[in-house]
Amino acid sequence: MAMKRHCAAELRPPRVMIQTLGCAKNSVDSETLAGLLQQSGFEYVHRESQADVIVVNTCGFIDDAKVESIQVMLEAVRWKQARKGRRVLAMGCLTQRDGSEIRAELPELDGVFGIGDWSAMLAALGANPLSVNESTEVTLYSGKAGPGSAYLRISDGCSHACAFCAIPQMRGLYRSEPIESLVDEARLLARTGVRELMLIGQETTSYGVDLYRKRMLVELCQRLADIDGIEWIGIVYAHPPSTPAGFLSGRARVPKLLPYIDFPSEHAAPRMLKLMNRKTSAAKMKEAIDAFRDGRDNVCVRTTVLVGFPGEMDSDFEQLYEFMKDVRFERAGVFTYSPQSGTAGELLGDPVEEGVALDRLDRLMRLQREICLSRHKKLIGTTLPVLIARHVRDASWGRSTWDAPDIDARVRVRGMLSTGQIHQVKVTGAAAYQLDGVPESIENSARGESCGSFALPVLSH
Ligand code: SF4
């Protein structure tokens, strides 16, 4: 029999905890589920000890993420077995792709669901799917990214076919969310105190091509920038092969747009880009990055690269190394390849030997560390706007305009500044992945005044 909305024995709403693994897109899904459950009379809790139900939102992006997801599901099953009446459900990218396998391997789970199976999940929890009304729909695009900050998911899915990536299988074809819905959502967020919007999607630079037959990211940013209260707009997950240099040039001025872009190069050697099915070249990527930087010093280009893909020879790696050295990305992440079932990469044979791949990763990370440190040292004595996220002992910690939530560096500021607010901070010290500073104006900072907007030449068609 389906569980009633309220536990008869305790006369209180059932309590649900969601454990989220993986990226910001998964966080948005978790927030969506939490919103739907709250609308259906459930209580959302943050501790296992308080929960009646745990939902594990899995990630299947790379092997390490899969292993972690399985471990978390096993821990949740142990939690369930410790007390009668508890239940565990699983959702997300991994269950979307490997649902049958997971059901067979973990029969203790009370339900295994794919991405966006909200009605089925609510039904399994005994909630009434009809209680999902129109006002709930408006919460489907965003998730918290920290105090004063929210992710706004402008698209989902991906229609590309990079040879190392299973995301299109897990999240389906590319689809943009309508501009009006996103603007409505952003207005609601601004009213709740959100100052920063991080625009996310599997790839954001193609926003609009499916709905409006043209790229509409600039128009979307302009509409979002008009919203009172929104001060920063960040963009992550650009797709270099579909990001022409002109698109990133300085012809359009979008107020409030951060001088930051996440531009995952993946590789630079022509042979590897071809094997990876990335329809671009090192020269084209460099052109796009130069257009984005446009001679400015205060711009951050983040990249991710993959080493150890099948067929990567020393000479290919050296080309990647030289590319990283030449471009001097302000931020970079390096991953070793692991084969993903159902992708073209799986058919290309064995990956590069693990020890070799790890050496390559290590060399790139050492190079990147030097670049980050030298870039950070140049910031000493300058003043930066910093969005404060939390307090630890007598210091405030936050992010500069060069840092995306949960990914990049952080800034430690002396004193207790108001969280969720943007403060002007004078940089006094630098490490590779951290800056230290003091509030430029203690009086202003203590009142929690924000830095206001700043216009930057960034995107155009
Ligand atoms: S662009 Fe490539 S790496 Fe990015 S989600 Fe699509 S297939 Fe995966």
Ligand 1 atom closest to the Cα of residue 161 is 7
Same domain, 185 and 121: no
Same domain, 260 and 178: yes
Q: Is the CB of 305 under 6 A from ligand 1?
A: no
Ligand 1 atom closest to the Cα of residue 202 is 5
User: Which residue numbers in the chain have pLDDT < 70?
Assistant: 1-12, 128-142, 244-253, 442-461
Residues linked to residue 5 through DSSP beta bridges, in sequence order: none
Q: Is the CB of 262 under 6 A from ligand 1?
A: no
Same domain, 262 and 353: yes
pLDDT of residue 247: 62
Q: Is the CB of 304 under 6 A from ligand 1?
A: no
From the list 301, 294, 221, the residue with the least C-alpha distance to 260 is 301
Amino acid code (one letter) for 71 = Q
Of 341, 376, 411, the domain-final residue: 376
Distance CA 166, CA 136 (A): 30
Q: Is 17 helix (H, G, I), strand (E, B) or coil?
A: strand
Of 327, 345, 376, the domain-final residue: 376
Question: Structurally, how many domains does the chain consist of?
Answer: 3
**Containing structural domain, residue 387:** 383-457
pLDDT of residue 179: 96
Give the mutation target among 155, 162, 242 for probing the ligand 1 site: most ligand atoms within 8 A of CB.
162
In this structure, which residue's CA is closest to atom 1 in ligand 1? 160
Same domain, 117 and 201: no
Query: Which one-letter DSSP state was computed for residue 12?
Result: B
pLDDT of residue 239: 83
Domain contains 400 = yes
| Segment 249-296, tens digit of pLDDT | 654 567 788 888 889 999 999 999 999 999 999 999 999 898 888 877
Q: Is the CB of 168 under 6 A from ligand 1?
A: yes
Amino acid code (one letter) for 27 = S
Q: Which residues of 207-236 are buried (b: 16+ CB within 10 A; e: fewer)?
A: bbbeeeeebbbbbbbbebbebeebbbbbbb
Tokens representing residue 247 in the block = 């698109």
**Cα(355) to centroid(ligand 1), Å:** 26
pLDDT of residue 64: 82
Contact between 402 and 423 (Cβ < 8 Å): no
Distance CA 31, CA 39 (A): 12
Same domain, 326 and 242: yes
Same domain, 295 and 179: yes
Q: Is the CB of 239 under 6 A from ligand 1?
A: yes
| Segment 417-431, tens digit of pLDDT | 999 999 999 999 999
Domain contains 4 = no
**Cα(167) to centroid(ligand 1), Å:** 6
Distance CA 224, CA 257 (A): 10
Amino acid code (one letter) for 36 = L
CATH number of the domain where residue 431 is located = 2.40.50.140
Same domain, 419 and 356: no
pLDDT of residue 297: 74
Same domain, 357 and 392: no
Same domain, 267 and 234: yes
Q: Is the CB of 241 under 6 A from ligand 1?
A: no
**Cα(356) to centroid(ligand 1), Å:** 25
Of 345, 376, 407, the domain-final residue: 376
Ligand 1 atom closest to the Cα of residue 241 is 1
pLDDT of residue 395: 94
Which helix (H) or strand (E) covers residue 79, if one does?
helix 63-81
Contact between 267 and 316 (Cβ < 8 Å): yes
In this structure, which residue's CA is closest to atom 8 in ligand 1? 165
Q: Is the CB of 398 under 6 A from ligand 1?
A: no
Q: Is the CB of 167 under 6 A from ligand 1?
A: yes
Q: Is the CB of 163 under 6 A from ligand 1?
A: no
CATH number of the domain where residue 26 is located = 3.40.50.12160
Q: Which residues of 338-362 are buried (b: 16+ CB within 10 A; e: fewer)?
A: bbbeebebeebeebbeeebbeebbe
Same domain, 191 and 279: yes
Q: Is the CB of 166 under 6 A from ligand 1?
A: no
pTM confidence score: 0.79
